[in-house]
Chain A
Amino acid sequence: MRRSLVIYAVLLLLALLAPFIGMYPVFGMKLLCFAMFACAFNLLLGYTKMLSFGHAAYFGFSGYFTGWLMTIHGWNAIEGLIAGTAAGALLGLVIGAIAVRRQGIYFAMITMALAQLVFFVCLQANFTGGENGLQSIPRGSILGLVPLSNDLTMYYFVLAVFVAVYLLIRRIIDSPFGQVLKAIRANEPRSISLGYKVDRYKLQAFVISAAISGLAGSLKALVLGFVTLTDVSQGTSGEVILMTLLGGSGTFLGPVIGAGVVVTLQEYLSDLVGAWVSVIIGAIFVVCVMIFRRGFVGEISRFFTRRAAAQPEA
């Protein structure tokens, strides 16, 4: 417990100081948005063992919705983000209600197909700008008080939202609700026979995850000022899976680290190697599945647990 507190303190300090030690605030914000997205995804994959293959739908759709409200209707940042989160939750409720009826790969395929439906809706609807996406979305202000156009102000705002969401997710996992989710992960038929309404718990977890994904997508729309079809595409759904898997699904910090690695890779490699990026991402996928299924954090904590087991007095 103490060790993890130290780690968190160091990470938080690093995040607070990052803009002053050479990180571009915009890059940092993008990273935080994807980290939040991956944490939301991990809530499903890591703690309920539900592999959603269509999480880009909530991420992207909420981004569009927020962008549209702020550009066309002049909403401020807080209102836009709340609306985006609500849109994600609602979409999650509809899709989740259909998808939780099936398990395992069926669940994955159904979420994927329905996300593709959302993709085509975004491609053809009026408010999304079709192939061009939404451009020059204003960042607005916090309730009209603090303008967010400055990158540094925006960075600390995004960081604050991220920390709040992170703590919320931890709280959810540690709550009785989270315990039930873990029970479902461990043994679903047994949870049913113990009297838990498993489908309802799964749906709730799905909606929470979709809502947080929506928040992450809305935040990203504000940060970068644009939303494109890539954000709702199946490629993004795949990326968030990779982030979670690479960092370690079912760990608190894993998705954050995974998101950091993947976003950094994309940022620097896309200039260097062009379309080969997707080859590299695909190769990382293969390596992860073949020999690295616990992810970074999972492997590290296993290493420490093993060492502790070898020397019981230490």
Chain B
Amino acid sequence: MTTSLALNLYVNGALKTVTVEDDTEPLLYVLRNQVGTQGVKFGCGVAQCGACTVIIDGVTKRSCIMPLNTVADGAHVTTLEGLGQPNNANGLQGIQKAFYDNQAGQCAYCAAGIIMGSYNWLRGRRAAGNTAIPTADEVKDFLSGINQNPPFVYLCRCGSHMRIVRAIQQASQEM
């Protein structure tokens, strides 16, 4: 038997009421198909690639394995669309600009999740007082889940890795 659920979410600052007939439906599908934030990508459905990464109340999450019944009512969800837009008053977020400056993508399907996860990681470093440019190895370890809890891995199949690492390093100073 399934249990239905209605929830209020603040998605990129806007209040959205979402309803599901099965409360185990992952947040990924709710965001993509109900809220319409398609910057959240489906990649694997089992938290192995990072394409679906979002930030929920300040915490990096893999939306593909997050049943809606584990999301708090009134939670704030940030997706790639919510970081920045060229036409918004604030324009692009520094990390989006850094990705663009470095042309850090080919198909760029993976970029959505990598940008979200890296953005929150850099924010966390800053909050802890670390404003230094991360070394390339630090960035690579982060994206490989090394010393991370949970140990989220981010995959890029086109091979834009060098540019992505440089973009994240640049973003550390421009966020």
- Are A and B physically bound partners? no
